[in-house]
Amino acid sequence: MINAFACDNGQPHPLTETAAPDALRHAVWIDLQAADPTEVERVERETGLKLPTEADVSEIESSSRLASRGDVLYLSMPLLRQADDGPRSVSAGFVLSQDRLITVRFARSRTFDSYAVQLPTLSFPHDASAHIFVGLLEAIVDRQADALEQVRADLDTISHTIFAMGAGLEGGQKQEDATLRRTLGQLGHLGDLISHVRDTQVAAARIVPFVEARAAQWLPKELAPRLATLRQDIASVSDFDTHLNDKLQFLLDATLGFINIAQNNVMKVMAIASVVGIPPVLIAGIYGMNFKVPEYNWAWGYAWGWGLIILTTLIPLGAFRWRKWI
């Protein structure tokens, strides 16, 4: 699918007649989403620019993600995409020249769609392609910041839940075990999300100085403050990402610690039960032997046996209670 925007007198507007001959020659932003080979060939023919493939934008080396051919910059970065089964990373490519921006993505992106809706309300003095590119980067960084803010809220909720439950943790209760298992799953999901955000931020941190250096001759001067602010935003989001990752690791360690406590409580109960049961079993075994013992002739021999069994059960329990083991 091809979405294109032209710019007349500094005012961007969508090109509704993208199927018309030579329509894309006047576009300042061409956005290809899961484009088929025919659409890619048409864009290359009308713009004279070579478009990257999915394999090209998925490379992780800096030399592959950041390249220049003459005055045209070829950039790529992973984008965060929320799928039904969790966060996913989808690579996106940018072809930036002085008069045109081409974006190549292979899945739907809420950030791109929202920015495309907002674009007609903006106005640019000149060189709209660079302004659109910087605005798109700002939208991507803002989207990552929003995702991290949601992660922080989720971590605060998990922290309150796990530590409130941990104060009275007994172990062996189905509700506690289910809560701990669910917490581990939530922490894993959030850790995956933080990892994807970090990948995007690292790529954005490399793109901004590369564009400033390689497009210095034709990059509009009024974009310099926005790029400086963008660098600061990327750095602050990266620091916040590191903070959240540390907090997530702390909560993960705490959750595993509570799981160990719960398991130890279960094992302690089993150990106490086995120790308490040894003397009564020993006494019952002695009086259950196929030998005649003197107590058989006593009038209170049966009561004597039961008394020994109960007494040897209560003595270890009292000792454990006195040592505050139970």
pLDDT tens per residue across span 184-216: 888 888 888 888 888 888 888 898 999 888 888
pLDDT score, position 63 = 64
- Cα angle vertex 64, ends 59, 69, to 5°? 145
**Domain limits for position 277:** 265-322
Answer yes or no: do 107 and 179 share one domain.
Answer: yes
Summarize pLDDT for 34-44 with one digit per residue, the tens.
888 888 888 88
Average pLDDT over residues 66-93: 80
User: Is the predicted pLDDT of residue 310 greater than 80, yes or no?
Assistant: yes
Answer yes or no: do 144 and 291 share one domain.
Answer: no
Answer yes or no: do 257 and 279 share one domain.
Answer: no
Residue that terminates a domain, selected from 262, 280, 309: 262
Summarize pLDDT for 244-270 with one digit per residue, the tens.
999 999 988 888 888 787 777 778 778
User: Is the predicted pLDDT of residue 124 greater than 80, yes or no?
Assistant: no
Structure tokens at 296: 């058989």
More confident residue, 53 or 175: 53
Give me the number of domains the chain comprises. Answer: 2
Residue that terminates a domain, selected from 217, 247, 262: 262
More confident residue, 64 or 129: 129
User: Is the predicted pLDDT of residue 7 greater than 60, yes or no?
Assistant: yes
Answer yes or no: do 61 and 199 share one domain.
Answer: yes
pLDDT grade, residue 86 (50/70/90)?
low
Q: How far apart are CA 6 and CA 293, in angstroms?
A: 107
Answer yes or no: do 302 and 182 share one domain.
Answer: no
Q: How far apart are CA 232 and CA 226, in angstroms?
A: 10
pLDDT grade, residue 229 (50/70/90)?
very high
Q: What is the CATH number of the domain that holds 52?
A: 3.30.460.20
Average pLDDT over residues 114-140: 84
Q: How far apart are CA 94 and CA 129, in angstroms?
A: 11
Residue listed under structure tokens 């020659």: 25
pLDDT score, position 160 = 86
Answer yes or no: do 183 and 163 share one domain.
Answer: yes
Residue that terminates a domain, selected from 242, 262, 282: 262
pLDDT grade, residue 166 (50/70/90)?
low
Strand-pair partners of 67? 74
- Cα angle vertex 131, ends 125, 135, to 5°? 135
Three-class secondary structure of residue 267 per DSSP: helix
Residue listed under structure tokens 């910041």: 145
Strand-pair partners of 79? 90
Answer yes or no: do 238 and 275 share one domain.
Answer: no
pTM: 0.77
Answer yes or no: do 137 and 278 share one domain.
Answer: no
Average pLDDT over residues 127-142: 88
Strand-pair partners of 102? 30, 95
pLDDT score, position 153 = 92
User: Is the predicted pLDDT of residue 224 greater than 70, yes or no?
Assistant: yes
Q: Which residues of 145-161 are buried (b: 16+ CB within 10 A; e: fewer)?
A: bebbeebeebbeebeee
Answer yes or no: do 314 and 182 share one domain.
Answer: no
Residues 6+ apart with CB under 8 A from 191: 245, 248, 252
Answer yes or no: do 171 and 305 share one domain.
Answer: no
Summarize pLDDT for 92-109 with one digit per residue, the tens.
889 988 888 989 888 888
Answer yes or no: do 201 and 311 share one domain.
Answer: no
Which of 220, 227, 225 is CA-nearest to residue 204?
Answer: 227
Answer yes or no: do 255 and 270 share one domain.
Answer: no
Three-class secondary structure of residue 126 per DSSP: coil
